[in-house]
Amino acid sequence: MEPVDSETVVLRPGVLGSEVDCPVRWCRSSRARRVSLRIDARAGAVVVTLPMRTARRAGMSLLATHAAWVMQRLAALAPPLPFAPGVEIPLGGRPHVIRHDPAARGGAFLDGATIVVSGAAEFLPRRVRDFLRAEAKRRIALLAEGHAATLGVKIAAIRLKDTNSRWGSCAPDGTLAFSWRLVMAPGDVLDYVVAHEVAHLRELNHSPRFWAHVERLTPNREKAQDWLRDNGPALLRIG
């Protein structure tokens, strides 16, 4: 998929609705067979995907037809939450306050329910993000190794990504990939996603055998799926 550009489009949700500004990201895809819309929670915009030879006016027509849906979905997004001093962000599902201490050493580290960040203020967002990624890698690796031992499988590697839709994935070569943002979710949610991907090392499908492996590894499936459906998009708005 090739990003084309971004712009603000004026939409009118409903016959009697007033005009509103809508942030739009245009993309072209060689695999797309029709024009489609999706909400990019992280960017707070609607993404319009066009087949390679389709004119932009077709995307505008689809936007106009679904204007009410688009604006409703955008309005329902959680407000963006930056990495900044005094901001409270979740870690393991529990609130932690970011505190800037220029004289401290060690980049960013935990002090109880506080994430202390050292150094110059302009480095704070990157250092918080680096801390969360490192903490995600540590927690995910610990869970994955335990689940892999239970199933008698081997993990080729663990990768961290920052995806918009998939919380985890398993490649045919045994590489597991996870969104680092899962470290902000409750522990039982993280455990479920890790167990889900480790189970794919035995069954690279979603057959009854696969789900039996997941049930063996974690009791958190239904609760975690509900939490990710209801709260997952808000994690994309942090940082």
pLDDT digit string, tens, across residues 153-205: 999 999 999 988 799 999 999 999 999 999 999 999 999 999 999 999 999 99
Q: How far is 118 from 216, CA to CA, in rounded Å?
A: 42
Predicted confidence (pLDDT) at residue 5 exceeds the cutoff of 80: yes
User: For the residues 193-219, what does the mean pLDDT come to?
Assistant: 97
Predicted confidence (pLDDT) at residue 17 exceeds the cutoff of 80: no
| Mode of pairing for the β-strands spanning 45-51 and 20-29 | parallel
| Mode of pairing for the β-strands spanning 157-161 and 175-179 | parallel
Of the candidate ranges 33-37, 142-146, 162-166, 203-207, the one whose mean pLDDT is the lowest:
162-166
Q: Which helix (H) or strand (E) holds 46?
A: strand 45-51
Angle (CA) 70-75-78 rounded to 5° is: 125
Q: How far is 196 from 216, CA to CA, in rounded Å?
A: 11
User: For the residues 218-228, what does the mean pLDDT come to?
Assistant: 96
List the one residue out of 56, 216, 65, 238 whose CA is nearest residue 146. Answer: 216
- Count of residues in the chain: 239
Domain edges within the chain: 2-75, 88-235
CATH number belonging to domain 88-235: 3.30.2010.10
Give residue 4's pLDDT.
64
Predicted confidence (pLDDT) at residue 16 exceeds the cutoff of 70: no
List Cβ neighbours of 97 (8 Å cut-off, separation of 6 or more). Answer: 86, 87, 88, 113, 114, 115
Give residue 226's pLDDT.
97
Measured in degrees and rounded to the nearest 5, phi and psi for residue 219 equal -90, 10
Q: Kindly report, residue by residue over 43-86, the tens digit of the pLDDT.
A: 899 999 999 999 999 999 999 999 999 999 999 999 999 999 99
